[in-house]
C-alpha cells in the first residue's frame, strides 16, 4: 500500500512539475512575442517618421504661421510700456522681429512623433497601420514673455545705459529712435533666449493629426511606406 501511495505521489509531483514547466514556457513565449511586437511597433514608427515627416513638417509650419498673428498681438501687449513714447514704425519693426525670432526657435524644436494605434498584418512582409502624429505644445512657453524689471536690468547692463532711471527718461521722451531700437533689440535677445530654454523643457504633447492610414512593405528586411505616396504636389492615398 505504501509503495502504491509513493508511486501516486511521484506521479502527482511529476504532473505538477510538468505543469509548472508548461506555464513557465507559456509565460516565456508570451514575453518573447510581446518583445517582438514592441520591437516591430518601434520599427514601424521609425519608418513612418523617416518617410513622412518632411511632408508633415509643412503642416506644422502652417500651424506656426497661423499662430504668428497671436504672437504679433502678444508683442504689442507685452513689449511696449504705455508710458514709453515709441513711433508706430519702430513698434511694427520690433513686433515683426519678435514674431520672426520666436517662430524660428519654435520650428527648430518642433519635433514630430508618429504613434501607431493599430497594426494589421496583411502578410508577413506587409502591414496596414493607423497612426497619430503628435508634437510638443510650445505655445505655453510664450506665457510671461514680457519686458519686466529683470529684463530691463539686463538691458541696462548689456546696453551700457547708465542706470534704469536714465533708460526710463530716454524711453519717455520723444525722439532718440536709435537708442530705443537698441533697447528693444537687446530686450528681444533676452526674451528669445529665455523662450528657447523654456521650450527645451516642455514634454506635453498635442495630437495634431489623428487616425491616419498607411501601408508598409518589408523590403530586404526593412520597412518602407508604400501608401500614402509623397509627391511634389502633396501626399496621395492609393
Q: What is the pLDDT of residues 111-170, one digit of tens each?
A: 888 999 999 999 988 999 999 988 887 777 777 778 888 888 888 888 777 888 888 898
Residue 89: the pLDDT is 93
pLDDT above 90 (res 67)? no
- Per-residue pLDDT band for 97 (boundaries 50, 70, 90) equals very high
C-alpha cell recorded at residue 84? 514709453
pLDDT above 90 (res 93)? yes
Q: Which contiguous run of DSSP H or E holds residue 104?
A: helix 88-109
Q: Average pLDDT of 197-206?
A: 84
pLDDT above 80 (res 15)? no
* Average pLDDT along the chain: 79
- Per-residue pLDDT band for 17 (boundaries 50, 70, 90) equals low
C-alpha cell recorded at residue 138? 510650445
Parallel, antiparallel, or unpaired: how do β-strands 205-219 and 126-136 relate? Answer: antiparallel
Residue 231: the pLDDT is 52
Residue 23: the pLDDT is 57
Residue 33: the pLDDT is 47
Parallel, antiparallel, or unpaired: how do β-strands 229-231 and 222-227 relate? Answer: unpaired
167 vs 68 pLDDT, higher one = 167
Tally of domains within the chain: 1
- Whether the pTM exceeds 0.75: the reply is no
Residue 10: the pLDDT is 46
| 112-123, strands of its sheet edge to edge | 112-123, 126-136, 205-219, 222-227
- Per-residue pLDDT band for 20 (boundaries 50, 70, 90) equals low
Exposure of 102 in the CB half-sphere (CA atoms within 13 A): 29
Q: At what angle do helices 164-171 and 149-158 cross, to 10 degrees?
A: 100
Question: How far apart are the C-alpha atoms of 135 and 60, rounded to whole Å?
Answer: 9
Q: At what angle do helices 2-79 and 88-109 cross, to 10 degrees?
A: 160
Structural domain span for residue 59: 2-236
pLDDT above 80 (res 189)? yes
Q: Give the total residue count for the chain.
A: 238
Amino acid at each position: 500500500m505504501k509503495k502504491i501511495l509513493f508511486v501516486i505521489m511521484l506521479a502527482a509531483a511529476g504532473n505538477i512539475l510538468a505543469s509548472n514547466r508548461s506555464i513557465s514556457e507559456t509565460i516565456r513565449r508570451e514575453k518573447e512575442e510581446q518583445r517582438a511586437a514592441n520591437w516591430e511597433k518601434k520599427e514601424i514608427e521609425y519608418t513612418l517618421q523617416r518617410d513622412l515627416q518632411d511632408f508633415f513638417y509643412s503642416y506644422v509650419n502652417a500651424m506656426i504661421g497661423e499662430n504668428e498673428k497671436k504672437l504679433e498681438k502678444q508683442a504689442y501687449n507685452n513689449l511696449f510700456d504705455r508710458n514709453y513714447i515709441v513711433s508706430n514704425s519702430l513698434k511694427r519693426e520690433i513686433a515683426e522681429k519678435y514674431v520672426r525670432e520666436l517662430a524660428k526657435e519654435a520650428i527648430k524644436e518642433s519635433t514630430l512623433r508618429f504613434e501607431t494605434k493599430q497594426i494589421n498584418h496583411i502578410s508577413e512582409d506587409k502591414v496596414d497601420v493607423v497612426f497619430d502624429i503628435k508634437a510638443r505644445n510650445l505655445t505655453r512657453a510664450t506665457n510671461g514673455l514680457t519686458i519686466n524689471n529683470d529684463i530691463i536690468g539686463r538691458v541696462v547692463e548689456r546696453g551700457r545705459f547708465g542706470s534704469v532711471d536714465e533708460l526710463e527718461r530716454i524711453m519717455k521722451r520723444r525722439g532718440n529712435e536709435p537708442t530705443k531700437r537698441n533697447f528693444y533689440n537687446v530686450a528681444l535677445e533676452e526674451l528669445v533666449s529665455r523662450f528657447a530654454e523654456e521650450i527645451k523643457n516642455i514634454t506635453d504633447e498635442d495630437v495634431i493629426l489623428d487616425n491616419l492610414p498607411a501601408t508598409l512593405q518589408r523590403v530586404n528586411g526593412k520597412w518602407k511606406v508604400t501608401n500614402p505616396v509623397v509627391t511634389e504636389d502633396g501626399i496621395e492615398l492609393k
